[in-house]
Amino acid sequence: MMLHIPEVLSAEQVARCREVMTKAEWVDGNVTAGHQSRQVKHNLQLPEQSPEARELGDMVHKALYQSPLFMSAVLPHQVFPPLFNRYDAGMTFGAHVDNAIRSHPIHPVRIRTDVSATLFISALEDYDGGELVVEDTYGSHEVKLPAGDLIIYPATSLHNVTPITRGSRIASFFWTQSLIRDVTQRALLFDLDMAIIRLTQDHPGHSSLVTLTACYHNLLRQWAEA
């Protein structure tokens, strides 16, 4: 399931990210690449242990848990500390699949990567190119979102970032281990949750809400891996 989640970061938070990043030192993005990805990855990255990455990562992490849409769609068990990358003119990231397991050099974090995510920080008018392209059974999907918006997609997906032809593209990227390992089950729970929300808005107090909510939580109880 791919899902666009708007305004995860506010305009003020985006501005803070840009302010911090102008003073930061960037390193070769291959510091976090696996063997296969290293051959096609050409970008820059904030060092994971840098104070800038830790400050902004904490900001993103808190914002995610305040996003009802993210919580419903991902059902996070653990979110990997957010990372930050930059693509300047000519930089790109060829087709790859994210590593199945990610560990952090500082935090005691080791997760299974169920859901991949890109949080856009650069404004759309600041760069050309740099589309995230995700491939699935329905074809290729190009994604380029406003600053502060998030795209989530299955970590099993083959994906790439097209070359930058002007400006710089800055984003946060991270992975989540979900309480629900199976993507189909996760999508069903999300659809059910959205239907419950719409029914609550359109027909508050409807007797079916209790039954549907019970079904949601009983399915979650049956499928969840806590």
Boundaries of every domain in the chain:
3-178, 183-223
Q: Which CATH number fits domain 3-178: 2.60.120.620, 2.70.180.20, 3.40.1710.10, 3.20.20.140?
A: 2.60.120.620
Classify burial at 51, counting beta carbons within 10 Å of its beta carbon; exposed 0-12, middle 13-18, buried 19 or more: exposed
| pLDDT recorded at residue 7 | 98
46, 79, 201 from 149: Cα distances, Å = 20, 17, 25
**pLDDT tops 60 at residue 71:** yes
Triad 12, 91, 17: Cα angle to 5° = 15
| pLDDT recorded at residue 151 | 98
Find the mean pLDDT for residues 13-41: 83
* Nearest C-alpha neighbor of 56 from the set 32, 31, 35, 84: 84
Question: Quick check: pTM over 0.85?
Answer: yes
pLDDT digits (tens, 9 = 90+) for 140-174: 999 999 999 999 999 999 999 999 999 999 999 99
- Domain spanning 183-223, CATH architecture: Irregular (4.10)
| pLDDT recorded at residue 207 | 92
Q: What is the mean pLDDT of the chain?
A: 94
pLDDT digits (tens, 9 = 90+) for 84-136: 999 999 999 999 999 999 998 777 889 999 999 999 999 999 999 999 999 98
| pLDDT recorded at residue 32 | 64
Find the mean pLDDT for residues 65-87: 97
